[in-house]
Structure 1
Amino acid sequence: MLSSASSVATLVTLLALFLIAPRLAACVFRFVFRLIGWLVARKYRWKRDLIRARLRADEEEYRYRKAKSQKREDDDWEKVEPDGIGIDANGDAAGDDWDGIIGFFHPFCNAGGGGERVLWAAVRATQKRWPKAICAIYTGDNDVDKTTMLEKIESRFNIRLYPPTVVFLYLSTRKYVLSSMYPRFTLLGQSLGSLVLGYDAFSLLIPDIFIDTMGYSFTLALCHFLFPSIPTGAYVHYPTISTDMLDSLDDTSGAKGLNAGAGTGWKGYVKKRYWHAFAKIYGWVGGTIDVVMCNSSWTSAHINTLWLPSRQQAQLKFKDPTVVFPPVAVSELESIEISLPAEQSTREPTILYIAQFRPEKNHALILRAYARFLAQHRKTNTNTTQPTPQLILIGSVRHSSPDETHIYNLRLLAHELKIRSTTTFLCDASWPTILAHLRRASIGVNAMWNEHFGIGVVEYQAAGLIPVVHDSGGPRQDIVVDGTGFRATTEEEFAAVFEAALALPVKEKVAMRTRARGSAGRFSDEVFAEAWVGEMGKLVGLERGGR
């Protein structure tokens, strides 16, 4: 049997052959990969039987524990919601008796961010719609067992899953997709590394439907060539490369992300050529995926630019990507009161930033903007009885990763800016803790350039906070619209907007909070579940119809 490394070597050899004899190479490419897929399927077929046997045992144990504890809980997993019925590829209702295995490829499923909320909400919606289906999660979080993982999901996201039909498959090669492995040619290195990780996943289990929910689209292409009969789906949070990223190389303002201005000089020229070449490969990969979902209008526009040409040429039933907004706990957050009395008794002059502690979230910009705002605020507000505006940063941290160094540097920056006494860092906070801060804070901020969507921004709106976001990406196009918040770009602009938002008259604050909450209804859990089930119905239909 071929190892992961040898499989990647085979792929590289075939890519070289493509340059010499394209048509011959294509035939050889398909034959070799189908042969590898057939060998892998034959070798690991027994694992499917083992998982199904384990599922039956887990269900018996689960029901026994419930009966023994004599708890009468509303267990609706065996019911099909009337408004959640999926449609298969032939336009017929996809019956809830489908009992296939869905593989969710999400190597960092314990990260605790917005992408993970999408994953678990998708699993919950799938369980409710197809209660007999098995949801297999490919994860590299080998230090967290199933029970602990499910408890963290409920604590962090308030999402409760039906344990027996959730299976965790632990990957051993996740290191090959870490950016630290590739100090040069990172995009290509991680993409090729994801092929190793994908092969690792298929050696654990070959599913009936394979879905990537984290952005490793190269693994979907690998599945397409190894197992042509398996429908593939992608939920795209952020394009691996985008036209905005290509344009940012020539940006001299420094406002367009981490690579702004990196296209100058001979090294910049090489980087531009490399990125453009990678964009073409990425576009080709997008033409192999059966169903594509995008989390925002911004993401969809870029995926259309990069993937649609290849998808139009491919023999795909569903060529156009669909926008499926991420799920947000809107209904739960709507319990937070928005009124004149609440404004005066509950809301505090607090700026809240909920985002994973990673460089692209640009926490440093907010720290500098807050320091500038606070210095000016202290000069112009001599009333010492008024509370000092606070900054609270809440986010998840991937342990044993660069995230820990990043948050350490952020703490140092807060100390250097002399705002440490009014700045709070909360790592891996539970949902009740987050809810408490959403109830009290006045402003919710997001500083990421071209944030693909911004679940945290919708949470701000649903909770009645006034959002202040970077004037780009999903927050600009989909969320903070029609007088529901403020947008800014530079440190000076963010500082000025903080002052303007906190200085609004009480009635205007309440009016803006009310408008923001009304806008947030477009992004509820229920809306996401309905859209997800519809897209899943396409994949189920393809699987049941043998494509």
Structure 2
Amino acid sequence: MLLAILVTVFALVVSSALIPNLSLFVLRFVLCNVGWLVQRRTRSRRDAIISQARTEEREFISECAKSPTQTHTVDEDWEKVDSSTSCLGTTGSDKTREDEDWDGIIGFFHPFCNAGGGGERVLWEAVCATQKRWPKAICAIYTGDNDVSKAAMLQRVETRFNIQLHAPTVVLLYLTTRKYVLSSMYPYMTLLGQSLGSLVVAYDAFNLVVPDIFIDTMGYAFSIAFCKLLFPGIATGAYVHYPTISTDMLESLDDDSGVKGVNSGAGKGWKGYLKRTYWLAFARLYGWVGGQVDVVMCNSSWTSAHIRTIWGPQRSRQPFRDPTVVFPPTAVSELESTIKVDSESEKTRQPVILYIAQFRPEKNHPLLLRSFARFLHERKKSPSSASQPQPKLILIGSVRHSSPDETHIYNLRLLAHELRIRDHTTFLCDASWPTVLSHLSTASIGANAMWSEHFGICVVEYQAAGLVSVVHDSGGPREDIVIDLGDGATGFRATTEDEFAAAFEAALALPMEEKVAMRLRARKSALRFTQEEFSRKWIAQLEKLVNMRTR
């Protein structure tokens, strides 16, 4: 009952974004008192979490002392970071940090932290950077993956992303209400449904422990506004991968080409009118919500531009008004050191098109499958094709089990069969990092077919591995990644099936010398997206939040 009342009250609060004359004073007062009660009720659990973390830390140190030769690699990395990157997040000053021993709790709101996608890489790299900067701080992850223990989770993080975390200061807090943010719960008005559903999940999270800093790393901005109303003193941050609604989405309603996402051309008729009205109202509400966040980080120039447009007018009173672009971390250094790019390695490359993306509808795998089928069809017309190795398409991605993802990949397999490319197409679900690395080292082309991809971590991985990228001409890949930095093209961009098919042919037909040159230019371009660069920028933003707590 209390939870239903809270959601109703919050709905009234956020409606002030649509009804400016509605006074918020009483409602803020009520929610603030509810927050006080939640803090009081969960104080003992907070103390227990801190005590357990400190106990595990002592046990870890004790084990290391007993077996110094078997100290985990992550501990060695800790020493390297403490000594060599103590200036992370500063502007070059050598001043001593007063907050270096800060030992509060940072809550990371990421209900699907075991999904294994690019967003999860950002989460775990952020946790890793945070641990190294504030070794005594506790990183609490609010997750709905109740069937995964901490040990199994950290092992998966190491296997999937090659990220080694310091276990004692990582705490998994298990949510029981994650179902309320599933799109399947809301067949109509999905954006609003999931956003209000995130309030239920956030309330569940705060009843597990109230953190000192609350950061949403998955895109549930409503949870942050809810946090600020319940706990005004908590510093909040958002790492925005993709705006919940954007001007691109609104423009797609009038698109007749059918290439601008799943809602392309949906603005016609009375249903289209209602949808447009609903989206415009939601955009205004979303803008108000974004105005409550203390520190905003965006993963690309594209995302930042949309956040400035929608959130900007509501952030005039925030001390850190403008969003900061913090490019997602990519294993550029590892890929560079592991995979060679030269005329000799070119001989080992195979005519393989690789697509690394979660198996979800928005990644637009059907466009890639149809483009590949068209490419093969056109290739057969060439007299020389019979004597050349047959191109193959390999799709690698994570699948959220017991979710629509499993149905989606089943439908993709059926489509490959219908297009008669099943024998030339391979699906790899939840592949380990070594497996991904192996394919990156032998494939020739890296593809991305998503319209308005917010960034495109996989595209950076392609570049760092020396693949020739063929990506959708929109979003982050167009604005930040596959660009000419002044010394030549770093890949190809396309929109339609014909354009993708032609780009595949052009990429494979490049003379060896030009192909190697493009691969090297792409690798050089990828240096802008290293893990070290992400850590530096992440810490700079997180320091703002820590300073808000230590003042």
TM-score range, shorter chain: over 0.9
2:53 paired residue number: 55
Corresponding residue SS for 1:204:
coil
1:119 paired residue number: 123
2:164 paired residue number: 160
Which residue identity lines up with residue 495 of structure 2 in the other structure?
T
CA distance in 2, matches of 1:417, 1:172: 42
From the superposition, tell whether residues 373 and 100 of structure 1 become closer, same or farther in structure 2 (CA, over 3 Å).
Answer: same
How is 1:234-245 mapped onto 2 (pairs within 5 angstroms)? Answer: 234-245=238-249
Corresponding residue SS for 2:544:
helix
Q: 2:37 aligns with which of 33, 36, 39?
A: 39
CA distance in 2, matches of 1:193, 1:353: 32
Which residue identity lines up with residue 437 of structure 2 in the other structure?
L
2:336 paired residue number: 334
1:310 paired residue number: 314
Give the deviation of 1:15 after TM superposition.
Answer: 5.5
From the superposition, tell whether residues 18 and 534 of structure 1 become closer, same or farther in structure 2 (CA, over 3 Å).
Answer: closer
1:169 paired residue number: 173
Corresponding residue SS for 2:130:
helix
1:95 paired residue number: 99
CA distance in 1, matches of 2:277, 2:327: 33
How is 1:249-268 mapped onto 2 (pairs within 5 angstroms)? Answer: 249-268=253-272
Unpaired stretches in structure 2, ≥5 consecutive residues = none
Find out whether 1:11 has 2:10 as its counterpart: yes
Q: Do the aligned residues in 2 keep the contact of 1:81 with 1:129 (CA within 8 Å)?
A: no
Which residue identity lines up with residue 147 of structure 1 in the other structure?
A
Corresponding residue SS for 1:77:
helix
CA distance in 2, matches of 1:119, 1:421: 36
Give the deviation of 1:58 after TM superposition.
Answer: 1.3
2:28 paired residue number: 30
CA distance in 1, matches of 2:89, 2:468: 36
Which residue identity lines up with residue 498 of structure 1 in the other structure?
F
Corresponding residue SS for 2:461:
helix
Q: Do the aligned residues in 2 keep the contact of 1:446 with 1:457 (CA within 8 Å)?
A: yes
Find out whether 1:225 has 2:224 as its counterpart: no
Which residue identity lines up with residue 490 of structure 1 in the other structure?
T
1:150 paired residue number: 154
Q: Do the aligned residues in 1 keep the contact of 2:14 with 2:288 (CA within 8 Å)?
A: no
Which residue identity lines up with residue 515 of structure 1 in the other structure?
R
Work out the number of aligned pairs and report it. 539
From the superposition, tell whether residues 414 and 20 of structure 1 become closer, same or farther in structure 2 (CA, over 3 Å).
Answer: closer
Q: 1:196 aligns with which of 200, 203, 211?
A: 200
Q: 2:137 aligns with which of 99, 111, 133?
A: 133
CA distance in 1, matches of 2:138, 2:212: 10
Give the deviation of 1:53 after TM superposition.
Answer: 1.0
Which residue identity lines up with residue 518 of structure 1 in the other structure?
K
2:287 paired residue number: 283
Give the deviation of 1:86 after TM superposition.
Answer: 3.5
Give the deviation of 1:84 after TM superposition.
Answer: 3.9
Q: Do the aligned residues in 1 keep the contact of 2:470 with 2:492 (CA within 8 Å)?
A: yes
From the superposition, tell whether residues 204 and 320 of structure 1 become closer, same or farther in structure 2 (CA, over 3 Å).
Answer: same
Which residue identity lines up with residue 325 of structure 2 in the other structure?
V
CA distance in 2, matches of 1:452, 1:244: 11
Give the deviation of 1:450 after TM superposition.
Answer: 0.2
From the superposition, tell whether residues 294 and 16 of structure 1 become closer, same or farther in structure 2 (CA, over 3 Å).
Answer: closer
Corresponding residue SS for 1:5:
helix
1:319 paired residue number: 321
Which residue identity lines up with residue 33 of structure 1 in the other structure?
L
CA distance in 2, matches of 1:486, 1:179: 33
Give the deviation of 1:12 after TM superposition.
Answer: 3.2
From the superposition, tell whether residues 20 and 84 of structure 1 become closer, same or farther in structure 2 (CA, over 3 Å).
Answer: closer
CA distance in 1, matches of 2:483, 2:98: 37
Using the TM superposition, name which of 428-437 and 372-381 deviates more: 372-381
Alpha-carbon displacement from aligned partner over 1:359-397 (angstroms, at most 9, x marks no partner): 000000000000010111122043534210010000000
From the superposition, tell whether residues 138 and 94 of structure 1 become closer, same or farther in structure 2 (CA, over 3 Å).
Answer: farther
Runs of at least 4 residues off by over 4 Å: 13-21, 67-70
From the superposition, tell whether residues 332 and 409 of structure 1 become closer, same or farther in structure 2 (CA, over 3 Å).
Answer: same
Which residue identity lines up with residue 246 of structure 1 in the other structure?
L
Corresponding residue SS for 1:137:
strand
CA distance in 1, matches of 2:78, 2:546: 19
Alpha-carbon displacement from aligned partner over 1:320-350 (angstroms, at most 9, x marks no partner): 1000000000000112111111111x10000
CA distance in 2, matches of 1:125, 1:94: 18
Structural RMSD (CA): 1.8
Q: Do the aligned residues in 2 keep the contact of 1:136 with 1:168 (CA within 8 Å)?
A: yes
CA distance in 2, matches of 1:12, 1:223: 14
Using the TM superposition, name which of 61-70 and 523-532 deviates more: 61-70
Corresponding residue SS for 2:469:
strand
Give the deviation of 1:17 after TM superposition.
Answer: 8.1
CA distance in 2, matches of 1:59, 1:367: 49
1:496 paired residue number: 502
Alpha-carbon displacement from aligned partner over 1:94-119 (angstroms, at most 9, x marks no partner): 53211111000000000000000000
How is 1:407-426 mapped onto 2 (pairs within 5 angstroms)? Answer: 407-426=409-428
2:527 paired residue number: 521
CA distance in 2, matches of 1:61, 1:534: 31
2:536 paired residue number: 530
Q: Do the aligned residues in 2 keep the contact of 1:294 with 1:322 (CA within 8 Å)?
A: yes
From the superposition, tell whether residues 441 and 487 of structure 1 become closer, same or farther in structure 2 (CA, over 3 Å).
Answer: same
CA distance in 1, matches of 2:289, 2:83: 35
Corresponding residue SS for 2:70:
coil
From the superposition, tell whether residues 19 and 383 of structure 1 become closer, same or farther in structure 2 (CA, over 3 Å).
Answer: closer
From the superposition, tell whether residues 214 and 18 of structure 1 become closer, same or farther in structure 2 (CA, over 3 Å).
Answer: closer
Which residue identity lines up with residue 271 of structure 2 in the other structure?
K
CA distance in 2, matches of 1:440, 1:186: 41
1:269 paired residue number: 273
CA distance in 2, matches of 1:422, 1:364: 15
Unpaired stretches in structure 1, ≥5 consecutive residues = none
Give the deviation of 1:317 after TM superposition.
Answer: 1.2
From the superposition, tell whether residues 413 and 42 of structure 1 become closer, same or farther in structure 2 (CA, over 3 Å).
Answer: same
CA distance in 1, matches of 2:307, 2:17: 25
Alpha-carbon displacement from aligned partner over 1:421-462 (angstroms, at most 9, x marks no partner): 110000000000000000000000000000000000000000
Alpha-carbon displacement from aligned partner over 1:30-60 (angstroms, at most 9, x marks no partner): 1111111111111111111000111122123
Give the deviation of 1:4 after TM superposition.
Answer: 2.2
From the superposition, tell whether residues 383 and 295 of structure 1 become closer, same or farther in structure 2 (CA, over 3 Å).
Answer: closer
Find out whether 1:435 has 2:434 as its counterpart: no
Alpha-carbon displacement from aligned partner over 1:66-124 (angstroms, at most 9, x marks no partner): 44555145524362543543459xx9845321111100000000000000000000000
Which residue identity lines up with residue 439 of structure 2 in the other structure?
H
Q: Do the aligned residues in 1 keep the contact of 2:39 with 2:210 (CA within 8 Å)?
A: yes
Give the deviation of 1:21 after TM superposition.
Answer: 8.5
Q: Do the aligned residues in 1 keep the contact of 2:18 with 2:284 (CA within 8 Å)?
A: no
Q: Do the aligned residues in 2 keep the contact of 1:102 with 1:134 (CA within 8 Å)?
A: yes
Q: Do the aligned residues in 1 keep the contact of 2:104 with 2:138 (CA within 8 Å)?
A: yes
Using the TM superposition, name which of 376-385 and 25-34 deviates more: 376-385
Corresponding residue SS for 2:541:
helix
Q: Percent identity?
A: 67
Which residue identity lines up with residue 36 of structure 1 in the other structure?
V
Q: Do the aligned residues in 2 keep the contact of 1:34 with 1:226 (CA within 8 Å)?
A: yes
Corresponding residue SS for 1:59:
helix
Q: Do the aligned residues in 2 keep the contact of 1:80 with 1:128 (CA within 8 Å)?
A: no
CA distance in 2, matches of 1:383, 1:365: 24
CA distance in 2, matches of 1:471, 1:34: 46
Which residue identity lines up with residue 333 of structure 1 in the other structure?
L
Which residue identity lines up with residue 257 of structure 2 in the other structure?
S
Q: Do the aligned residues in 1 keep the contact of 2:99 with 2:550 (CA within 8 Å)?
A: no
Q: Do the aligned residues in 2 keep the contact of 1:98 with 1:130 (CA within 8 Å)?
A: yes
